[in-house]
Structures are given as structure tokens and as C-alpha cells.
């Protein structure tokens, strides 16, 4: 789930690759007849995911009479940029939600998602994430949301019980003040974590359609002022303040009683801190209610693929509820189809808070050319204890308006 940066130079050639990228429908390559050989590029989380996807692809190939070659990328954003620039993209590939608008805006993606069986079965928040200019482009592969992770032993040591798990900002502050000897809450110092507070306050960086800058609002200001108060009172600290690389490390080392992370923390804890007992809970609600962030990929299909029919068939197979549950067992992801929710929660009850978050999750900024804007915003958030939240948001607003044109 780590967000990687793609050099701007790799995005720019996409707009200049000829008529095929002027619009999603501008190029309709000749479809190959008979059995085809699909090229699939994936950004793998590790050996377990690679093996699972290759096994599923082999099963699809056998049943369909086609061939499918799955290649784990070294740096998928760089490799896709180069492939698009050279007009030789893979047929199917992972598209990170944070990069989706960059690709969709230059016509690199085939808008096929409504051709998948029961497209309305995908969580609405995920459909929105992969919608550009009103068109639902690509099927969500899987997802995670942020939840409040609690160290059970440190919780009990502070005299707290299950009834004390905070469900509001006010309760979060009150509970944090009762935790002594360790930092109450460790949280990453970027929009990918702190942005959840903005959503809980009723704000976000852009409008839902990604066309308007909405950074400098009273809602976002209320969120950053609340976070700033927690930071100044040492009720919340960034990982680097705790000599940790991320919230999960500070949490795993027992330097924090709580953290806010996605369900990928399960694997990290099992691997690095197997003796730490913890539970996951929905994030505390803010002034405007519940809010969290979602992280997801879709199965992208190249607009220039000559094998679109087979590619859609492949994605159809990969996104069936049963196949998504197989992936969940293999490498810990959560199904993107609502019809798989009950089966997933029954098999992985400890993940209920993460799954429930899908109902009110905010996806990444759905607009192209926002990389430098968001990086600049992160820099401001990292200096939140000493900077004016209003000034940080004003800068975000100005930069976002400039990027959106």
C-alpha cells in the first residue's frame, strides 16, 4: 500500500503519444481473433500475492483457452509511464487510486468497468474513486481503510476497558489523557493518515468530482486545529518523534498505546511484533460524523490493448466474490465487492472495523497533476506544531487551484 512517486517526465509523454490518447474512445485497436496472450503487470505486496495472482491467471487461461503472463513490477509507475510513452502498454495492470486520474485524464485507460458483471456490487466509495468525468473506468481490485489500533496490554495498564474505546474526538482526547508512560497515539505525518480527521470534520482537499479545490474551508481548519492541539499536548506524536519509521513500528515497539493504520498492520505485527496483542476499531467520529480513508487499486486495461475482450474476461474472473475471498486468504486484502462482505467478516472477524469503513471512506484525491501539491501539503502537516493551520490550508487551496487550472 505504500504510495510511490512517479516522475512528472513520465506522465508528460502520455499526452503526446498521438491520437490514441486524446480521449478514451479515440483509439479502437483491432481486436485479436481466437486465443490471445495477455500481458499482466502487477505491483505485488510480496511473494504471497504474486503466487496467488499467477495461480488465478493460470486457472483463467486454462478455462478460457487463452494465455496469461503475470509480471511483478519493480516500479510499476515508472514502468507504466515508459510503456505508455512507447505505445506498448501491458493489456492489464494494477492502477493505484492515487494515480488513476493521471492515467484516465490522458486517455490511457479503457473505460470498461460497467461491462463487468454487477458493477453496482462494488462499494460505492470505490466506484467513486475510479470514476473520472462521470465515467466508471476500472474494477476495484481490493481495498483497505484506516482504523484505530489499540494495544490491549497498554490499554489495560491504563485502567481502560472495551467501553473506553473512543467513538468521538472528545472521547479520544479524554482517553488519551488517561494514558501515562507512553505516547497515547502515534500517527503518520501525511495526508494519508491525518486526512481522516479532515473527512470526519466534513472536509477534504477537492470536491468529489476532483474539479474544485476545497482545501481552505472551516471544516478542514477545525480538523487541523484539533490535530495540532493533540500534537502540542503530546497526546499524539508522529513516528519520527518516537524514533520509528511509521505508526506501526512505534506501536509494535510499545512506544504508543494506539495508532491509526490500515489492515496491512496485521502482517507487519505478525512478522515483527508477534507478541503484541491488539484490536482494531472504527475511527472516532468528528463534528460531521464518521470518516476514514481508503486505499485501493483497480484492474486497469490499456486503451491501446488489442486484446480488450479477453482482458475484460480476465478482470471478470479476478473480481468474482469467490476469487476475491481466495485472494483475501492468500495475502490479506479485503474484497471490493459488497456481496463478499459477510463471508469476509465471518472468516476474519478482527477486520470488521476496516470493512465497515468502506461505507464512509474517502479515496485519494481524484484529480491529475496533483503530486507536487500533495507533497507540499504533507510538508506543511509535518510542521503542524509550529505552523498556522489556516496558512497551511490557504497554501493548499492556492496550489490545488493552480493544478486544476
Name residue 216's beta-bridge partners.
none
CA distance 164 to 203: 27
Domain that holds residue 161: 145-293+367-404
Query: What is the band of 34 on the pLDDT scale with cuts at 50, 70, 90?
Result: low
238 and 342 fall within a common domain = no
pLDDT at 4 over 80: no
235 and 285 fall within a common domain = yes
Which CATH number belongs to the domain containing residue 33 in this structure? 3.40.190.10
Residue 3 inside a domain? The answer is no
154 and 287 fall within a common domain = yes
pLDDT digits (tens, 9 = 90+) for 35-48: 999 999 999 999 99
161 and 25 fall within a common domain = no
Q: How far is CA 9 from the centre of its chain?
A: 24
315 and 210 fall within a common domain = no
- The residue among 173, 224, 166 whose CA lies nearest residue 195 is 224
H or E stretch at 252 = helix 247-252
SS3 281: strand
Tracing cell 483463467 back to the chain, one arrives at 60
Cell numbers linked to 295: 486505499
Cell numbers linked to 121: 456490487
Tracing cell 509494535 back to the chain, one arrives at 252
110 and 227 fall within a common domain = no
313 and 226 fall within a common domain = no
Contact between 59 and 6 under an 8 Å Cβ cutoff? The reply is no
176 and 235 fall within a common domain = yes
H or E stretch at 336 = none
186 and 262 fall within a common domain = yes
Mean of the pLDDT values across residues 179-197?
98
pLDDT digits (tens, 9 = 90+) for 287-308: 999 999 999 999 999 999 999 9
Residue 158 inside a domain? The answer is yes
Least confident range of 19-28, 131-140, 154-163, 241-250: 19-28
Sign of CA dihedral 124, 1, 367, 320: negative
- 25 vs 136 pLDDT, higher one: 136
- The residue among 209, 211, 23 whose CA lies nearest residue 108 is 23
Mean of the pLDDT values across residues 194-205?
98
Residue 256 inside a domain? The answer is yes
243 and 379 fall within a common domain = yes
In total, the chain counts a number of residues equal to 405
Query: What is the band of 177 on the pLDDT scale with cuts at 50, 70, 90?
Result: very high
249 and 397 fall within a common domain = yes
Residue 395 inside a domain? The answer is yes
Contact between 290 and 310 under an 8 Å Cβ cutoff? The reply is no
pLDDT at 239 over 60: yes
Rounded to the nearest integer, the mean pLDDT of the chain is: 92
CA distance 300 to 308: 11
Residue 252 inside a domain? The answer is yes
Q: What is the pLDDT of residue 188?
A: 98
Cell numbers linked to 271: 512478522
pLDDT digits (tens, 9 = 90+) for 52-94: 999 999 999 999 999 999 999 999 999 999 999 998 999 999 9
Residue 137 inside a domain? The answer is yes
CA distance 41 to 35: 20
**Is this structure's pTM higher than 0.75?**
yes
Residue 2 inside a domain? The answer is no
Task: Say how many domains are in the chain.
Answer: 2
Q: What is the pLDDT of residue 12?
A: 34
Residue 374 inside a domain? The answer is yes
Q: What is the pLDDT of residue 33?
A: 55
Q: Where are the alpha helices (DSSP H) in 44-168?
A: 47-64, 76-85, 97-105, 124-129, 152-157
Q: What is the pLDDT of residue 323?
A: 98
SS3 115: helix
- Burial letters 205-214, b for 16+ CB under 10 A, else e: bbeeebeebb
275 and 195 fall within a common domain = yes
SS3 255: coil
Tracing cell 483509439 back to the chain, one arrives at 27
Mean of the pLDDT values across residues 336-358?
97
Q: What is the pLDDT of residue 65?
A: 97
Amino acid at each position: 500500500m505504500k504510495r510511490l512517486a512517479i516522475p512528472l517526465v513520465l506522465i508528460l509523454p502520455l499526452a503526446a503519444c498521438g491520437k490514441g490518447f486524446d480521449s478514451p474512445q479515440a483509439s479502437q485497436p483491432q481486436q485479436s481473433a481466437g486465443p490471445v496472450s495477455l500481458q499482466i503487470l502487477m505491483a505485488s505486496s510480496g511473494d504471497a500475492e504474486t503466487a496467488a495472482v499467477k495461480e488465478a491467471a493460470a486457472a483463467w487461461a486454462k478455462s478460457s483457452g487463452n494465455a496469461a503472463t503475470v509480471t511483478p513490477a519493480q516500479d510499476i509507475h515508472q514502468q507504466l509511464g515508459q510503456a505508455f510513452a512507447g505505445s506498448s502498454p501491458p493489456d492489464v495492470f494494477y492502477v493505484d487510486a492515487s494515480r488513476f486520474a493521471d492515467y484516465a485524464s490522458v486517455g490511457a485507460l479503457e473505460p470498461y468497468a460497467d461491462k463487468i458483471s454487477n458493477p453496482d456490487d462494488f462499494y460505492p466509495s470505490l466506484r467513486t474513486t475510479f470514476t473520472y468525468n462521470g465515467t466508471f473506468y476500472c474494477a476495484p481490485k481490493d481495498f483497505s481503510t484506516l482504523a484505530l489500533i489499540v494495544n490491549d496490554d497498554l490499554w489495560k495498564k491504563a485502567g481502560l476497558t472495551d467501553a473506553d474505546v473512543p467513538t468521538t474526538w472528545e472521547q479520544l482526547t479524554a482517553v488519551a489523557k488517561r494514558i501515562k508512560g507512553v505516547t497515547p497515539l502515534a500517527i503518520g505525518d501525511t495526508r494519508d493518515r491525518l486526512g481522516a480527521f479532515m473527512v470526519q470534520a466534513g472536509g477534504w482537499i477537492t470536491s468529489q468530482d476532483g474539479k474544485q479545490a476545497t482545501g481552505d474551508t472551516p471544516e478542514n481548519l477545525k480538523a487541523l486545529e484539533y490535530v495540532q492541539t493533540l500534537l502540542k499536548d503530546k497526546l499524539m506524536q508522529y513516528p519520527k518523534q518516537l524514533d520509528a519509521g511509521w505508526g506501526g513500528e512505534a506501536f509494535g515497539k510499545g512506544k504508543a498505546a494506539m495508532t491509526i493504520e490500515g489492515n496491512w498492520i496485521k502482517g507487519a505485527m505478525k512478522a515483527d511484533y508477534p507478541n503484541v496483542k491488539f484490536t482494531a476499531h472504527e475511527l472516532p467520529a468528528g463534528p460531521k460524523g464518521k470518516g476514514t480513508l481508503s486505499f485501493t487499486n483497480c484492474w486497469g486495461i490499456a486503451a491501446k490493448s488489442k486484446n480488450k475482450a479477453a482482458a475484460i474476461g480476465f478482470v471478470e474472473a479476478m473480481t468474482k466474490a469467490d476469487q476475491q475471498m481466495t485472494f483475501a486468504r492468500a495475502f490479506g486484502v479485503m474484497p471490493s465487492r459488497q456481496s463478499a462482505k459477510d463471508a469476509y467478516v465471518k472468516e476474519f472477524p478482527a477486520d470488521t472495523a476496516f470493512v465497515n469503513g468502506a461505507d464512509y471512506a474517502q479515496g485519494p484525491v481524484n484529480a491529475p497533476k496533483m503530486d507536487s501539491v500533495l507533497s507540499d501539503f504533507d510538508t506543511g502537516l509535518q510542521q503542524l506544531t509550529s505552523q498556522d493551520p489556516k496558512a497551511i490550508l490557504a497554501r493548499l487551496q492556492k496550489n490545488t487551484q493552480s493544478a486544476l487550472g
